[in-house]
Amino acid sequence: MKFFLDTANIKDIKKAKSLGILDGITTNPTLISKEYLVYDEKKIIKHYINICNLLEDESDLSVEVISNTYIEMIKEGKKISKLHPKIVVKIPMTEDGIKAIKYLSNNGIKTNCTLVFSPLQALLAAKSGAEYVSPFIGRLDDLSYNGIFLLKEIMNIYKNYNFKTKILAASIRNPIHISECAKIGIYAVTAPIKVIRTLIENPLTKIGLDKFLNDYNKKKY
């Protein structure tokens, strides 16, 4: 399973990269707004390029458009994609968004269809030619729907029609989300660094390690 980091924070990206398990980055307008107090287009562009330069060969960075009409999304998508070859253009699941995904993918620009909450939205994303679809499972769970169940439905639909769109499970809130994704064979998850850390830590590992070292050190060889 691929691990993406859901952040625009360079320090977090460097930390995840040092673990050797980083397959890509996803950002969104909220995440980028956390990095800057004032909007500065030049700085933000440089920021995206810096992130791309930190990534390994097969990895990519999803950058979301902030426009919401077909024409503007295409214009912005083309501009974003020219910044760096590792950039995938993130487009929201709207009527204009679907048209923009179709146009961009027909023109060789990879897209990530974001803000997906239903199997039918995911079906449309795949039919439009999206490289990735991002179902937001945590936000569904927050409303008492079942995010993992949605992923299973999307996997089933994609299998029925042999769609090549990759499922990138998003809005990951906890380690259970990640283990459930792994059990059903999801292509990738995108999570904040604090969730990735919870995969490493276990109190029994710490207790066990402390005891091993304690036993070893109290003996005089």
CB-nearer residue toward ligand E4P: 74 or 116: 116
Alpha helices by DSSP H, listed for the chain, are 10-19, 29-33, 41-54, 70-83, 95-106, 119-127, 137-142, 147-161, 175-184, 193-200, 203-218
Closest CA to 24 of 169, 130, 160: 169
Shortest distance in whole angstroms from residue 206 CB to ligand E4P: 28
CB-nearer residue toward ligand E4P: 10 or 71: 10
Instruction: Report which residue type is found at 100.
Output: A
Tokens of 144: 């008492």
CB-nearer residue toward ligand E4P: 117 or 163: 117
Closest CA to 98 of 126, 118, 69, 128: 128
Task: Cite the active site residues.
Answer: 90
Shortest distance in whole angstroms from residue 26 CB to ligand E4P: 4
**Residue 136 three-state SS:** strand
Shortest distance in whole angstroms from residue 215 CB to ligand E4P: 43
Considering only residues 136 to 195 of the shown chain, the ones binding ligand E4P according to CB under 6 A are 136, 138-139, 170-171, 190
Find the part of the chain contacting ligand E4P (CB under 6 A) among 15-23, 65-73, 134-142, 195-203: 134-142
CB-nearer residue toward ligand E4P: 10 or 207: 10
Measured distance CA(173)–CA(40) in Å, rounded:
30
For residues 2 to 41, the per-residue mask of contacts with ligand E4P, x marking binding by CB under 6 A and - elsewhere, is ----x-------------------x-x-------------
Measured distance CA(92)–CA(175) in Å, rounded:
26
Residues that bind ligand E4P (CB under 6 A): 6, 26, 28, 114, 134, 136, 138-139, 170-171, 190
